[in-house]
Structures are given as structure tokens and as C-alpha cells.
């Protein structure tokens, strides 16, 4: 079953799926299987998609509504729910409605975050009892970024991004611009001009200001809208690309400073101002849910 009718029902619960920023991204090698060895730093922001979930007793996983350009069978939320079902032998099902806020193809990890929120929320709603490590292992086949959203802590990442070490970082305000284009991650990582042999650095190097994104030259050359957004944003601070883009961002010490820049953004460009978070809003929602269950 694919599509479920939307109804107002107290059984629906809402769960946040936050965006992430890659504060740095280095491509330090290429593996025999074609995947790239990376170094990166993940931090969340408090801008979120919102997933609405309703438990079913018939075992069906149904997407309520449509996601433009994404077939239900390819939807990461549907795949995540079915992966948890299979791993836990759970006989319950779910209706899933995604209230999409984060731009697709923007490098903010929206699809990965939606998948992670599905895993974490259904683990609680279905009572499947997986710990964080088990959920993270279940998350990896869904995408390299999904485990960091499951763990919910800002992190230094290596490998394909799955080897994660929690970090404590400043939590500035970010102005994020979303140029009117979608960047293909596959196209960037297969581009002949992508640097694939950057020298590895340490967390200390990053904290001292080494924030290079090796994907930036390729994306800037191939996507003029991203280049224009970077040029404009650089007037306000150090403008960076998140992941393979298309979104670009700059950090501000105060919210008012970020909002002042946002008000002067070029016409026709979308984006938002959000706070950096070392702890994912998803974990706060999980704590609230667990507390409600304990009080019942």
C-alpha cells in the first residue's frame, strides 16, 4: 500500500527532521568500491522538516500525500520504516506524512534527516527497543548521512561520513541561502575536476580555521546560481558551501545580524536564518515522548 487518506486524528504524532550543515568537507581518497574517503564536520540547525506519523495495526507502511519527484517506493521514510519492520519483526505499520520545509538537492540532508527521524520515532512508537548504535547500523544502508541524524550530536565524520566522533562547537546563527537549482551529489563526486587527494587534517586544524570544502570549485563552476549566492554572501562574512550544495551559508554571532543580511538578500533567492545546534531537536522530541509514556 502506498497512499493513505489524510484525516484529522489524535493518533498522529509530529516529529522534527532538522537540517545539517557541513562546516568543512575534504575528499582525502577514493576507495576500490568507488566511494570517496571524506573528512567533514556536521552541525545541526533548528530548521526542520516535520514528519507526521500514525501507527497502524495492519502492518502496512503508507505514505500520506505526495513528495514531488519522489516515488513512494523510493521515499527514504518508507524505506526506513520497512527496514525497521524487517529488522525487528514488528507487525505494526504506519502512515507517514512529510511536511517538507528543507529544499531538495540543497546539501542540507533533508531526505537523510527524514529517514533518521522515521527510524527514531518508530522505534519509540512501535516499542521495538533498538538502542542508538543498532539504529545507526540500520541507518547506514539508507545513506551515508543518515547515521549522524540518528545519533543526534554534532560530529567529526570520516570514512564515507559514517565514522562519527561527537564534538562541541560554537552555536552561532546561520544565514542559509538556497539558490534556485538542485545539485546532483553523484555528478559532483564523479566530476573529473574534483580534488580527491586532499591532505587529511585534525579537528584542531578545523577549529583553527581550516574549513575548506573540496566540492566548492566544481559546484561554483557548474552552477552559476551557486556562484552568485556565494559572491553576495561573502560581503557579510565567510561564505561556505554545505555538502555538495546547492545551499551556501555564513555564520553570525547574533540573530539580528543574520536577519539584517537576510533582509537585503538578492531578489528571487530563498533561504532562512537558523541557530546552530550541537544537539538535534529530534532528541528533545524523543525525550518529551519518553516522558509522556512514563507518566501514562
108 labeled binding residue: yes
**C-beta separation of 169 from 276 below 8 A:** yes
Using CB atoms within 10 Å of the CB of residue 171, give its burial: 0 to 12 exposed, 13 to 18 middle, 19+ buried: middle
**C-beta separation of 214 from 25 below 8 A:** yes
**C-beta separation of 243 from 185 below 8 A:** yes
**C-beta separation of 198 from 72 below 8 A:** no
245 labeled binding residue: no
Q: What CA–CA distances, in Å, run from 10 to 6, 53, 114, 266, 274? A: 12, 11, 22, 42, 30
**C-beta separation of 282 from 261 below 8 A:** no
**C-beta separation of 282 from 120 below 8 A:** yes
C-alpha cell at 40: 567533514
113 labeled binding residue: yes
217 labeled binding residue: no
Residues 163 and 80: their CA atoms lie apart, in Å, by 20
**C-beta separation of 15 from 123 below 8 A:** no
- Is 20 a known active-site residue? yes
105 labeled binding residue: yes
Choice among 20, 49, 95, 214 that is catalytic: 20
Choice among 75, 114, 145, 214 that is catalytic: 145
Strands 155-159 and 61-63: unpaired
**Where in 88-193 does DSSP place strands (E)?**
93-99, 155-159, 163-166, 173-178
- Is 145 a known active-site residue? yes
106 labeled binding residue: yes
110 labeled binding residue: yes
152 labeled binding residue: no
Place of cell 540532508: 109
Annotated binding residues for ATP, as ranges? 103-113
Binding site, residues? 103-113
Catalytic residues: 20, 145
Amino acid at each position: 500500500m502506498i497512499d493513505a487518506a489524510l484525516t484529522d486524528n489524535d493518533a498522529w504524532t509530529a516529529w522534527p527532521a532538522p537540517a545539517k550543515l557541513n562546516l568543512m568537507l575534504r575528499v582525502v581518497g577514493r576507495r576500490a568500491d568507488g566511494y570517496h574517503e571524506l573528512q567533514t564536520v556536521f552541525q545541526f540547525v533548528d530548521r526542520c522538516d516535520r514528519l507526521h506519523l500514525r501507527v497502524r495495526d495492519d502492518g502496512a507502511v503508507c505514505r500520506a500525500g505526495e513528495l514531488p519527484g519522489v516515488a513512494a517506493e523510493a521515499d527514504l521514510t518508507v524505506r526506513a520504516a520497512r527496514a525497521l519492520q524487517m529488522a525487528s519483526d514488528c507487525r505494526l505499520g504506519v502512515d507517514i506524512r512529510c511536511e517538507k520545509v528543507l529544499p531538495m538537492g540543497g546539501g542540507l540532508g533533508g531526505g537523510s534527516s527524514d529517514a533518521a527521524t522515521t527510524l527514531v520515532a518508530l522505534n519509540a512508537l512501535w516499542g521495538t527497543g533498538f538502542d542508538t548504535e543498532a539504529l545507526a547500523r540500520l541507518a547506514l544502508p539508507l545513506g551515508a548521512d543518515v547515521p549522524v541524524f540518528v545519533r543526534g550530536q554534532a560530529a567529526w565524520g570520516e570514512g564515507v561520513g559514517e565514522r562519527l566522533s561527537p564534538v562541541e562547537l560554537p552555536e552561532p546563527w546561520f544565514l542559509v541561502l538556497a539558490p534556485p537549482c538542485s545539485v546532483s551529489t553523484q555528478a559532483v563526486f564523479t566530476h573529473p575536476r574534483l580534488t580527491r587527494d586532499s591532505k587529511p587534517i585534525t579537528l584542531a586544524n578545523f577549529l583553527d580555521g581550516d574549513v575548506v570544502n573540496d566540492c566548492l570549485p566544481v559546484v561554483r563552476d557548474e552552477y552559476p546560481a551557486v556562484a552568485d549566492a556565494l559572491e553576495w554572501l561573502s560581503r557579510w562574512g565567510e561564505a561556505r558551501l554545505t555538502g555538495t550544495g546547492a545551499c551556501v551559508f555564513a555564520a553570525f554571532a547574533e540573530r539580528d545580524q543574520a536577519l539584517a543580511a537576510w533582509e537585503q538578500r538578492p531578489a528571487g533567492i530563498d533561504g532562512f536564518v537558523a541557530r546552530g545546534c550541537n544537539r538535534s531537536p529530534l532528541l528533545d522530541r524523543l525525550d518529551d515522548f519518553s516522558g509522556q509514556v512514563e507518566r501514562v
